[in-house]
Structure 1
Amino acid sequence: MSAPAFDLQSHSTRSDGSLEPAEVVARAAAAGVRLLALSDHDTVDGLDEALAAAQEHGLRLVTATELSCLDGDREDLHVLGYGIDHHDPALLDALERWRADRAARGDRMADALEQEGFALDRAPLEARRAAGLPVGRPHLAQAAFDHPGNAERCRREGLADFGQLLGTYLVPGARAFRRRTTPTVAEAIGVIHDAGGVAVWAHPFWDLDHDAEVIDTIDRFVAVGLDGVEAFYITHTREQTLLLAGLCAERGLLSTGSADFHGPDHPRFHAFRAFDRCGAEPDLGPLGPV
């Protein structure tokens, strides 16, 4: 089966991607994407540049952002907001508040890495912040991994790249992880709706492991306004994909998909259209047609 012509999650230098927004669009077009979303974390700053590039390259761009949310004890679930008015003042105010909360968490995690004995050069991190760019867990992990003072420790612990360092020290439950305080999933969905968009839970099986837990969580989120689920995702298995697509069809939810492009050198998320529909049909609703 041919690769999908839509790819509804990608990231630029405005969050944790490695390419400028216009270059993300150019690469997507070259890869055969006809319907693209630029969905940087907790920001819409790259969308005007991306929209101009999309017109130049002849593809459709969906305005989007990916919001990091709290859900009880779960500390980093992601809700995608699609079709938002990215100039809406209330949306911009909410994003500014949530980024400030994320920045404070970044400082707490940097402190925690140092308390764990990692050397950390904060100058590149502060340079990103001074340029108005976010400092998230990938940037902290990269700074720690790249520091020569940590090279021997990384070899000893089998941390072959910054992603493995992130997964060992900066995920929920790990020693250097610190949680955000806002928004909840319901708050994020409300802001997305108020900005004219639809809310989709990103990569459920990236966050949760068990079918029953995912099903229960979808139903809880639907009760607070969730519009869809990212059923088709680069790390989902065939069984997970078909389960999610079937649930979306049964519940009348949108079913979207992505390869979650972060840049050509990313160890996992480096290629557009690199996800499988497994024979199921997406329901893109107002985002489509492709």
Structure 2
Amino acid sequence: MEIMIQQASNGNYIDLHVHSSFSDGVLTPEELVERAQAEGLSAIAIADHDSVAGVAAGVTAGKERGVEVVPAIELSVQFKSYKDVHLLGYGLDWSDRGFLERLNDLRERREGRSRDILAAVNNRLASEGREIIGFEEVSTHAKETIGRPHIARAMIGRGYVDSVEEAFRRYLVPCNVPKRYWPMDDALATIRRLGGAAVLAHPTSVSILRSELRSIITELVGLGLDGVEVFNNMAQPEEMAALQRITGDLGLVATGGSDFHGIEEGQEMGRGRGGIRFDGALLVPLKVLIEQRRKL
């Protein structure tokens, strides 16, 4: 089965998965919109990890530059024994007070985890005879939620490593502290309650076994899953074709996104593995679904 979508017939391209400096991206929401305009994209979705703090600025900048910014979020979720499953929520009410309180609680927990990881990294640095890194120094690299990429950038600034990849390999992975996750059923119900559409991000990060993945996605549909990020940077072409078949068989929405952070070598906004681009037609059924949810 041939993968859609290599080229849009009308040149209308999008990217439904980018990160800003309000989570673990490098660029501000305004800079993301500027980059999207330069790349010729008609729409992007700012989907920060457990945060919607950058959405308002992104939407405003998008209106000024003629780039549609879809409000979104990427939640870290647990489903059965599968941990750190990423769930994208599109078009949800990002001003809901209860939701913001829940995100603030998650942000505080994440900050505590980041402090513990930094303490472990500093122990390793001290054993190497290097000066430790203060949390305040790390926080200068983040707008809101502080995570491991911000520690990596602080280490690069000190000259301790040459790249984010090296920081993770030598320090951040060995010094990792387990996350706490949203239960899948709760995350799906929350996105639906807020009028949004729930999409499973880069599914091959959950499993590369196609029969297992089909079984997982089928079960998630029963819990309220709306779509699958078919076109992404983690999947090989044949895996994207398989995801496309599963999505079609189950009547789900298919989306595509680069998972752009601005720090991965060779990764570009608006492009997936092999240089494929994401057709603007992917946004149409997603927006239809979101509009239907808002009317309920």
The answer to whether the aligner puts 1:285 opposite 2:285 as a matched pair is: yes
Partner of 1:77: 85
Q: Offset at 1:66?
A: 0.9
Local SS of the residue matching 1:39: strand
How many angstroms apart in 1 are the aligned matches of 2:169 and 2:223? 30
Local SS of the residue matching 2:211: helix
Contact 2:15–2:278 under 8 Å retained in 1: no
Q: Offset at 1:188?
A: 1.7
Partner of 1:154: none
Q: How many residues align?
A: 273
Local SS of the residue matching 2:215: helix
How many angstroms apart in 2 are the aligned matches of 1:25 and 1:92? 24
How many angstroms apart in 2 are the aligned matches of 1:37 and 1:278? 12
Q: Offset at 1:78?
A: 1.0
Query: What code does the residue aligned with 1:141 have?
Result: A
Q: Offset at 1:219?
A: 2.3
Local SS of the residue matching 2:144: coil
- Please give the per-residue CA displacement for 1:226-281, whole angstroms capped at 9, x wherever unaligned: 11110101232111101111101100111100112222x542433323453799x8
Distance 1:243 1:54, change over 3 A: same
* Percent of residue pairs bearing the same amino acid type: 30
The answer to whether the aligner puts 1:64 opposite 2:72 as a matched pair is: yes
The answer to whether the aligner puts 1:124 opposite 2:123 as a matched pair is: no
Q: Offset at 1:168?
A: 5.5
Query: What code does the residue aligned with 1:253 have?
Result: L
Contact 1:101–1:182 under 8 Å retained in 2: no
Q: Which of 19, 23, 32 is the aligned partner of 1:15?
A: 23
Local SS of the residue matching 2:271: coil
Query: What code does the residue aligned with 1:125 have?
Result: V
Partner of 1:157: none
Q: Offset at 1:38?
A: 0.9
Distance 1:39 1:207, change over 3 A: same
Contact 1:261–1:269 under 8 Å retained in 2: yes
How many angstroms apart in 1 are the aligned matches of 2:278 and 2:110? 36
The answer to whether the aligner puts 1:134 opposite 2:142 as a matched pair is: no
TM-score in terms of structure 1 length: 0.83
Distance 1:277 1:185, change over 3 A: farther
Contact 2:201–2:228 under 8 Å retained in 1: yes
Partner of 1:42: 50
Out of 212-221 and 7-16, give the one that drifted further: 212-221
- Please give the per-residue CA displacement for 1:33-91, whole angstroms capped at 9, x wherever unaligned: 11211111111111111111111222322110111222344432211110111111122
Contact 1:142–1:162 under 8 Å retained in 2: yes
Contact 2:13–2:277 under 8 Å retained in 1: no
CA RMSD of aligned residues (A): 2.7
Local SS of the residue matching 1:248: helix
Contact 1:138–1:163 under 8 Å retained in 2: no
Contact 1:254–1:284 under 8 Å retained in 2: no
Local SS of the residue matching 2:102: helix
How many angstroms apart in 2 are the aligned matches of 1:163 and 1:261? 15
Out of 219-228 and 70-79, give the one that drifted further: 70-79
Partner of 1:272: 270
The answer to whether the aligner puts 1:25 opposite 2:21 as a matched pair is: no
Partner of 2:7: 2
Contact 1:70–1:180 under 8 Å retained in 2: no
